[in-house]
Amino acid sequence: MERYSLNHLFRTLGCFLLCVMFTATAFAQQKTIKGTVVDVTGEPLIGVNVAVKGTTIGIITDIDGNYTLEVPSKSTIVFSYIGYQAQEVPVGNQSTINVTLKEDAQKLEEVVVVGYGTQKKVTVTGSVASVSGEELKASPTTNLSNGMVGRMPGVIGFQKSDEPGGGGTTIRVRGTNSLGSNDPLVVIDGIPDRDGGFNRLNPTEIESISVLKDASAAIYGARAANGVILITTKRGKEGKATVTFNASGGFSQPTRLPKMANAFEYATMVNEINPGTWTDEDLRLFQDGSDPWGHPDTDWFDTTIKNASPMYRADVGVQGGSEKMKYYVNFAANGEDGIYKNSANRYDQYSLRMNLDINTSKYVSFQLGSIARLENTKYPMKSASSIFSGIRRGKPTQNAYWPTGEPGPDLERGDNPAVTSTDIAGFDNQKNYYIQNNLSVNIKIPWIEGLTIRGNGSYDKHFYNRKKFEKPILLYSWDGVNKNSSGLTAAKRYVDNAQLSREHSDATSWMVNGLIDYNRTFGQHNLGVTFGIEAQKKDYDFTSAFRQGFISDTKPELNLGSDVGMKNTGYSWEEARLNYFGRVSYNYLERYLFEFVWRADGSYRFPKNKRYGFFPGASVAWRVSEENWWKENVRFIDYFKLRASISQTGNDALLNSDNEYDRSIQYLNTYGFTEHGVVFGGEESKRLYAVRTPNPNITWEVGTTYNVGLDFKFLQNRLSVETDAFYHKRTNMLISRNASLSEITGITLPRENIGEMKNRGFDMLVGWNDNIGDVQYNVSLNATYARNKILFWDETPGAPAWQVSTGLPVSTSLYYVADGIFHNQAEIDAYPHWEGAQPGDIRFKDINNDGKIDADDRIRSDKNEEPRFVAGLTLGLNWKNWDLMALFQGATGGQVYIQTWSGTIGNFLKEYYDQRWTPDNPTANGPRTYEREDQYWISNKNTYFLRKGDYLRLKNVELGYTFSVDALKKAGISKLRIYGDATNLFTLDHVKVADPEARDVNLEAYPQRRIINFGVQATF
């Protein structure tokens, strides 16, 4: 035992001595190095990361660019700095290592897309926001607009619903600027206003999106008053062919569904409306669930909505080329299922894009772009609003399905949403086919330096087919006795006989333009001149047919329907534009910059003497940081640029009462046929009548924009700030004068150029980029504030001052001001009240102090549904093979009105049940149970039902890992990345019962969705 202990002791001491020796040797191999890091001008660089390659050993340079670091003698030192090219230096025998870092030329030459061209970012004089396609890819949504929100300053968006096949975000550039259309102009690969818009574009195929917000948009003239969105798709690159594959799959679910009263709670409230409807025994049975036949407790949301709906996306792309020809080809498919159980709602999309760049000589080049896309959307026979109305109103005291499986009764008109959300009631299938082509040619004139002639043309086709087949559905009622199928009686609901509608449209659009560019440098002077002429034409043809009386609902074909009641109709339209445009840009030393753009636009919408408008824009910029005195005295600011612009742009888009585009010609007499005619000789003859009085003076809506901005960078370009303040005034707005015209005249007036409003605010982008050792990170905050005000429009005369909308934002509403509730009769007697007021009713303020409550006591709110302030915070992190991105998005300043249609007509919100006044709870803060619109505080809008629309949500997050395995490279895989991403993970807000973006009064819209997604990306 003693010998064992001695041996053990010697072994332990030996190991200890060996460790000491190895440690001493290791320390002996360490050495101290020091040095200074400067830029190419000799200026010291502060905060340069100095690290030992492959380790976590590192330090940053001090204010004089100096560093001192203990390193292994056989190591390599990496010097890295944001905006500069990294350098690697072996230590060897050196003890002093001084390094000169060169600026990253790629960043210096960073360009942004502007109207009819590109510009170096440092020479841009206007207000332009941009986002890359790579950033958009992180958002797993089928609508491109949903991925834009929160990523760019000046871009405001709100999504009211998210139904597959629809669900796009409403995009506003710097808020609302008009009483009419506020949609920005969308330009895709140089072609304005392409059919299909940009919602269904594949983010994988997008190179960048730029948004023109001030004078930079004026080159698009008549359609640029609401801003311009420029989308550029990817093109080929020189080098060997690279194949990319991306596949992802996941699921979606509603972000939030309202919590409704259960059967016991609803029955209790119905008794408060109609006492005695349900007995105490009924209430007990509803509560204990012992009688599913006669006393069910149906959760209609749970019955109709599934927990998760599958979705997928897949892309295969090829990119490469030579000096003579470059190519980019991408095939994509994506699809998603609706959120209903046994859903009849689904969306699938297939597309093939091809972009070619061909250089036939050093002077001539061609660019060809083509895409074919199929959008296949399947809807239930009932609309989403009808289905969700049935779900929200669904009475928990009724069965969705009987215990034996048969579908239960409806609310009315076949509205059992558990059935109508499926294909039992029929189907509504819609297909959109797009074929879009564009061709460009660029010719450099060899004998005139800097002169280029360009030509661009496009030819697009859009075919739309709809097949809508409605069938009777069998719903079952119970006899109240036999608790099995024998006690059920079936009845046809919804429609009596099957009926079929077919719709078809054919749209053609072409555009052609020619441009002359002259770009030349004379010493330190840079001059650019562009002149162009452009023509565009669209035509559209629509036909539809209808038949009913089908003997069988198994063959939905028109020829199998009855001739009785058959209908058909159709119409067509065409529109054309011709315009001239140009740009003159000049800068001296890229320090003093000036740009003038213009467009002379002609529109078919206006008479010949009012048809053309001239829309100019001028902008200047001063790169103050390029001044020698700045470099010598303000070293802590690396980059500083001042910008200013003024411009006039136009708008000729008209909206009808349904907020859809009105293509009618306002300056011509417009006629229509009466719905019913006069019968002569057994035949009906319809009468022609004048629909609207013409306006021969109608012309452009004009927007004048003033913008000032500044861009600066601190701390060796790690901190960057871009900010703009803007003022936009819209005049000659195209609105009707019907408000001041009595309805008894029966006259429909045309649009007139009589409206005026203004919009002002600011937007900004703050970014921070840095690294700590192996960890690279970036933070970006963008924010936009916009507030508009009506200066003049047609209002009903004689309204009290507190009800006038002039001087307030667009789309404000009148409300009675809720001032608590009447808790008892004594409070009613002591305060002005609505005739018939009862305890538990909402008390309205007597605004004009006349001792009564009437329409003059309504006030106009200074807020509407649209937020005034929106912001997005993007966080990015890269560590070794891991990457993480998170986008937080929020909005403030809007309000939401929520008031459900409830009572014996349908269910109540759970929160209303919990907060309501009752004789047993007379001190409650909420009003009593109401019946439909019978109570004055339901039929009249009031502030009790207004909620703040402010919210903050985790809009998007993505986590990825890139494998670096030699075996993959041997297999021909140059990059393999797996990732998971999500959208709308959580939301903080005041609305609680619904998504704050929905702005849905009755909670009957298709809800926004949360998406969880996993995928793989491979490059070969």
- What is the DSSP pairing of strand 228-233 with strand 155-158? unpaired
The three-point CA angle 949-952-954 to 5° equals: 140
CA atoms within 13 A of residue 61's CA, in its CB half-sphere = 29
pLDDT of residue 97: 93
pLDDT tens per residue across span 909-929: 999 999 999 999 999 999 999
Task: Please report the pLDDT score of residue 186 as a whole number.
Answer: 94
Least confident among 39-43, 412-416, 506-510, 748-752: 748-752
Residues above pLDDT 70, as percent of the chain = 95
Distance CA 963, CA 882 (A): 9
CB burial class (10 A; 0-12, 13-18, 19+) of residue 694?
middle
The one-character DSSP state at 944 is G
Structure-block tokens of residue 885: 């991105």
User: Looking at residue 964, what is its pLDDT?
Assistant: 81
pLDDT at 504 over 90: yes
Distance CA 112, CA 128 (A): 8
What three-state secondary structure class fits 282? helix
Residue 686 confidence class, pLDDT cut points 50, 70, 90: confident
188-235 pLDDT, tens digit per residue, is 999 999 999 888 999 999 999 999 999 999 999 989 999 999 999 999
* pLDDT for 760 beyond 50: yes
Structure confidence by residue, pLDDT tens digits, 874-905: 999 999 899 999 999 999 999 999 999 999 99
pLDDT digits (tens, 9 = 90+) for 87-118: 889 988 898 999 999 877 655 567 888 989 98
Q: What is the pLDDT of residue 109?
A: 64
Calculate Rg over the CA atoms of the chain: 34
Rounded to whole angstroms, the Cα distance separating 822 from 917 reads 9
Q: How far is C-alpha 96 from the chain's CA centre?
A: 54
- Cα–Cα distances in Å, from 779 out to 479, 588, 765? 66, 34, 11
Q: Read off the pTM.
A: 0.87
pLDDT at 10 over 50: no
Q: What average pLDDT score do residues 364-380 get?
A: 96
- Position 442 pLDDT exceeds 80: yes
CA-to-CA distance for 870 and 981, rounded, in angstroms? 23
Whole-number Å distance between alpha carbons of 762 and 868: 11
Q: Which two tokens stand for residue 219?
A: 């080159």
C-alpha 136: how far from chain center: 11
3-state secondary structure 593-645: EEEEEEEEEEECCCCHHHCEEEEEEEEEEEEHHHCHHHHHHCCCEEEEEEEEE
Q: Residue 16 — pLDDT band, cuts 50, 70, 90?
A: very low
CA dist., res. 56 & res. 78, Å (int)? 12
List the beta bridge partners of residue 718.
none
Joined together, the tokens standing for residue 323 give 């000096």
Handedness of CA 798, 801, 806, 812 (dihedral sign): negative
pLDDT for res 145: 87
Cα distances from 119 to residues 151, 229, 314, 346, in angstroms, run 21, 16, 34, 42
pLDDT for 8 equals 45
Per-residue pLDDT tens for 56-72? 688 888 888 899 999 88
Q: pLDDT at position 714, please?
A: 86
Inter-residue contact 989 to 950 (CB < 8 Å): yes
pLDDT at 24: 38
pLDDT digits (tens, 9 = 90+) for 573-627: 999 999 999 999 999 999 999 999 999 998 888 888 888 899 999 999 999 998 9
Which candidate, 183, 392, 468, places its Cα nearest to that of 993? 392
Written as six digits, the tokens of 770 are 């840095």
Query: Which alpha helices (H) appear in 1-118, and where do they start and end?
Result: 2-29, 105-108
Cα torsion through 22, 23, 29, 33, rounded to 10: 170
Q: How far apart are CA 667 and CA 953, in angstroms?
A: 48
SS3 90: strand
- Residue with tokens 């290791």, as numbered in its chain: 26
Contact 349, 368 (CB under 8 A): no
Q: What is the pLDDT of residue 682?
A: 67
Evaluate if residue 15 carries a pLDDT over 70: no
Question: Cα separation of 156 and 150, whole Å?
Answer: 8
pLDDT at 180 over 80: yes
What pLDDT sits at residue 47? 75
CA distance 140 to 249: 9
Identify any residues that bridge with 1009 across adjacent strands, giving them in sequence order.
254
Q: Which of 791, 652, 781, 780 is nearest to 727 (CA)?
A: 791
